[in-house]
Homo-oligomer: A and B are copies of this chain.
Amino acid sequence: MQKQLNPNSQKIVILAEGSFGVLESKTATVLVRYLPKNVVAVIDSNNAGKDVSEVIGIGEGIPVVSNLASAMQYQPTMLAIGIAPPGGELPKPWYSILCMAIRNGLHIMSGLHYFLSDDAELSELAADHDVVLWDARKPPENLPVATCKAANVDATVILTVGSDCRVGKMLSGIEVTHEAKNRGLNAEFCPTGQNGIMVWGWGIAIDAVISDFTAGAAEQIVLEGAKNHDLLIVEGQGSLVHPGYSGVTLSLLHGSMPDAMIFCHQPSRKKVARYTIPLPSLSEMIAHYEMLTAPIKPAKVIGLALNCFDLTEKEANEAIAAVEEETGLPATDVVKFGAEKLVDVVQKTHQ
């Protein structure tokens, strides 16, 4: 399983040239949010001279610089590719930047669909300079077809599910894990996507796995997490109503065999992003997830994580109250109000 480097022990420069602060640089934002002590600089000539917090609202004290040469003064040990373009390809102008970083002795961490370690020239250069090309999205070899082994682990398994992509399934999973650990629980976050893997240091990007083995990959993640932990928070992917990714979502649901689910949603989102499909009601979407778990291992949604980034605190509180009224379940925005409410219900399931 992907665990070639511990990002927590690296000094990271993030490459986000031309894209920092826009949708494609979600990876950069996630790294700044969860590895603030490790990120030493962000490269983006458009924003050079600013503080990271001026661009994305977090990351105070981290400088944006114009190029790799400027970033080297902060003595990085790793360069992280900070964008995730829809096609997953490497922007061509970045190739020479990667070569330069390798020559400067930096490890490279990438979540692109295009695997750097499959590039002969980069691989040779990396070997010459004794650095690692870490493709967070590259799945391990020989994944099995799922065989319901995840049902046998001693750990309690919680899966974050949701209404769409980019509603907070990774973020709420990490926040719940942090709060559970704060309470002294032996909890572990189980990453299933490249960004989660890059901040947490292990996992499998299940959307990069051949579909026959995707549920098997989810099963492997749970078996791995359960080796040393008794409460697993598995990162969800996609949505059952997403025309492109619903299969990934269902593979994860059936492979990880959760004991309970946390449903993630952005109250202002009315349609599947980039599609014209209206989202069903929350109750309907929750019923879909619960119904599909029933024949294999029944699991209920026990709480909701709402992403209210585009609402005021007052509006967020109103949205939360409305969702609690509609579903009868506890809801919160983990960024605005913390994950306590969700960990309360997770603990009830864990007892």
Contacts and interface: CB of A to CB of B under 8 A. Distances in A.
A247 B145 CA distance: 12
Contacts of A294: 280
B244 A216 contact: yes
B295 A251 contact: no
Contact of A254 (B246, B254, B288): B246
Contacts of A241: 295-296
A155 interface: no
A86 interface: yes
Nearest to A252: B247
A154 interface: no
Contacts of A279: 295
Interface stretch (A57-65, A66-74, A100-108, A202-210): A202-210
A254 B243 contact: yes
Nearest to A257: B243
Interface in A194-228: 206-212, 214-216
Contacts of A254: 242-244, 246-247
Contacts of A283: none
A245 B279 CA distance: 25
A346 to B, nearest CB: 24
A268 B11 CA distance: 61
Copies of this chain present: 2
B295 A277 contact: yes
A292 interface: yes
A193 to B, nearest CB: 11
Interface in A314-350: none
A196 B250 CA distance: 25
Nearest to A287: B291
A272 to B, nearest CB: 9
A1 to B, nearest CB: 17
Given A148-B275, A250-B250, A244 B292 contact: no
A152 B294 CA distance: 34
A244 B215 CA distance: 6
Contacts of A275: 147-148
